[in-house]
Amino acid sequence: MINQHMRRTITLASLGALTFTLAACGNQTSDNQAAGGGETGAGSSELSGSVVVDGSSTVFPVSEAMAEEFQREYSGVRVTVGVSGTGGGFQKFCNDETDISGASRPIKQSEIEKCEQNGVEFIELPIAFDGLTVVKHPNNDFVECMTVQELKTIWEPEAQGEITNWNQVRDSFPDRPLGLYGAGTDSGTFDYFTSVIVGEEGASRGDYTSSEDDNVIVQGVANDENALGYFGLAYFEENKEKLAAIAIDDENPDNGEGCIEPNAETVGNGTYQPLARPEFIYVKKSSAENNPAVQEFVNFYLDPENNGTLVPQVGYVAVPDQILEKAQARFENRTVGSVFEGGSVQGVKLNEVL
């Protein structure tokens, strides 16, 4: 049973334009730790052991939901799901502290090298699609849509201490202070947002309220009528009653005309650009080979029925069956390494390389 606060049913659309590479290449992980699916059901008792999952706060709701349902089927297995951000998760993973790491971006070259130094081989698997959602306080009635350029004006490093008022972003905006809330620097969300909005990964002003925990950002925006923030779609879906989403115009008619709202349909059909992205789990090869509980949990995670049901329930877009089949093959063949070779997912389309 999925936690009640995670129940969100979203209509799925085709994932035409938003796809990414899964060919075979070279390498591979929260301190607010919670047990995924605290209760166990009367499922199979033949399998036992433990699975340790950590990493991205964006991937956390998916892993938590998977863990909860998995433990109902395999009551002898304990799956622990933690949150320390994508970067923090990879640090633990490459230090051989976890079995699986959730990530909202591909593993970086520096992280690949760290894993190699510690003898940690990994299998990279796509598990969902997400759309970074730019949010405001619901009482804000003057901004419904923003351009990518306006977001860059707000978030680029040069804006620090300079762009502090809404009317500096657009002349028609009121003379009100601008309260900013966003991902911490250990977050894959931070890496992706700065890459596609500012134009350089990691390039950002520093004078904003930051956290690797998306719930902190949710509360910050919900309590500040002048706020602007960003995080994954699932956290917006979960908190719609206290937040409002801002539509995004990338000013590229090829991606859809005008202002595009973030939802399962626009993420799925590729029109919500440039903030739509894939989500991953990274599985330690030795855990997959030597821990039957890890192997069975990953198989459960990649099952089309489970992915197609649980991923939308927590607010993301499920991976199409044909992509899951490729992911299953990577896992079954123990194909190690990252197909992105330390690079970005932006502009990489799976249907062009498979």
Question: Which residue matches tokens 């970067």?
Answer: 87
Average pLDDT value for residue range 162-180: 98
- What are residue 279's phi and psi, to 5 degrees? -115, 155
pLDDT for 44: 56
Domains present along the chain, CATH in parentheses: 4-130+279-348 (3.40.190.10), 133-268 (3.40.190.10)
Contact 293, 44 (CB under 8 A): no
**Alpha-carbon span 202 to 260, nearest angstrom:** 25
Inter-residue contact 41 to 287 (CB < 8 Å): no
Q: Could you give the strand order of the β-sheet that contains 100-103, starting from the edge strand earlier in sequence? A: 34-35, 77-81, 49-55, 100-103, 276-284, 122-131
**3-state DSSP helix/strand/coil % of the chain, to nearest 5:** 35, 20, 45
pLDDT number for residue 120: 98
Hey, is 295 helix, strand or coil? helix
Q: List, for residues 215-265, the tens digit of each pLDDT value.
A: 999 999 999 999 999 999 999 999 999 999 999 999 888 877 899 999 988
Cis peptide before 262 (omega within 30 of 0): no
Would you say residue 200 has pLDDT above 90? yes
Contacts of 343 (CB under 8 A, 6+ apart): 106
Q: Which residues pair with 133 in a beta bridge?
A: 231
Interatomic CA distance for residues 164 and 331, integer angstroms: 48
Strand 179-183 to 227-231 pairing: parallel
Whole-angstrom distance, CA of residue 239 vs CA of residue 197: 24
Mean pLDDT of the region 276-299: 97
Q: What's the token pair of residue 291?
A: 């821990």
Interatomic CA distance for residues 288 and 285, integer angstroms: 5
Strands 133-136 and 227-231: antiparallel
Amino acid at residue number 193: F
What is d(CA 81, CA 55) in angstroms, rounded to the nearest whole number? Answer: 9
- Per-residue pLDDT tens over the stretch 303-348: 999 999 999 999 999 988 888 899 999 999 999 999 988 776 665 5
3-state secondary structure of 303: coil
- In whole angstroms, give the CA distance from residue 294 to residue 296: 5
What distance, in Å, lies between the first and last C-alpha atoms of the chain? 35
Mean pLDDT of 156-178: 98
Tell me the C-alpha distance between 43 and 130, whole Å.
31
Tokens found for residue 44:
């199979």
pTM over 0.75: yes
Rg (CA), the chain: 20
